Each structure stands twice: as C-alpha cells, then as structure tokens.
Amino acid sequence: MRLGGAPAAWPKYWKRQREDTDLTTKRAQALSRIAASVFILFGLLGFLPNPIVGADGYFLANTQHNLLNLVVGAILLAGSGGESRAAMTLFYMAGINVALAILTYAQVGFTSYVDVFGVIRLNFPHAWLHASLGVLLAVSGLLNTARQQLFWD
C-alpha cells in the first residue's frame, strides 16, 4: 500500500474504458459533421430560388440568416475534430438555436415574420425548426460523451 495517494492499482470498474470513450467520441464527431452538413446545405439553399428556404420560401430567411447558417455549419465542422470538442460544440450550438427560437417566439406576435436583432429574418415555422434543431443538438451532444467529460474538461 502506498502512503498519501492513490492505490498502486485502481480497480477495473473505476477506470474509464478507452473503447467506450472512443465510440462516443466518434458518434459525437459524426453527428456534428451531419449537423454541419445540414446547416451548410440550408445556408446554400437559401441563396437559390426554391419553395423551401429563402425570401419567398416556407422557412423565411434573408441573406444574413443564410450567412449565419453557413457560419454555424463551419463552426460545427471545425468543432468536430477533438476528443470532447465535438460534443461541446453540439451542446453550445444547441443553446444558440434554442435562444434564437425563444427570441423569435417572444417577438413574432401577430406578424408573419420578425427580424431578430433587426438583422435575422425568421417566421414561425422557422422558429419551430430552430427549437427542434436545438433540442436535437443538445440531446446528441449530451448522449455522446461522458457527463464528466462534457462539463469538467
């Protein structure tokens, strides 16, 4: 027995299993890359005339919103590289999406659309999309890493 410290050999069940950590890291990285692809696709799609995303689409978006989608996609893509960085990026981007949805719900009232911060144009279906994306990103970020790895690293 050693004095003043940890035992010479930790019991096996106290050690973090490296295989589990690698699997959750790969899952978080894959989900972060998929989310990045979706944001980049929506950002690019907003610049083309279509009935889904854009100035006349079901999901109303202006040029600034399309650029914001491209930036969020780039952040998710850049954050998908490290150990716990992918899960952290998913978790933080989830917070931004939920905050954007709450701001839209608070401002939309009886109008058909709202300019959040006077810049980002959103309508009610787009707010629901951001709320559901925020929940999906948060759940995928929290489920794909150890709790201690997410909050204590």
Q: pTM, whole model, 2 decimals?
A: 0.73
Q: What percent of the chain has pLDDT over 90?
A: 10
- Cβ atoms of 83 and 145 closer than 8 Å: no
Burial 121-130 (b: 16+ CB within 10 A, else e): bbbeebbebb
- Residue 37 confidence (pLDDT): 92
User: What's the token pair of residue 33?
Assistant: 């890359």
- Walk along the chain (153 residues) and give the pLDDT tens digit of each residue: 555 555 556 555 555 554 445 666 677 788 888 888 999 998 999 899 888 888 888 888 889 989 999 999 999 888 887 657 777 888 888 888 888 888 888 877 666 778 888 888 888 888 888 888 888 888 877 766 555 455 544
As a whole number of angstroms, the distance between CA 69 and CA 36 comes to 9
Task: Measure the CA–CA gap between 123 and 1, rounded to whole angstroms.
Answer: 66
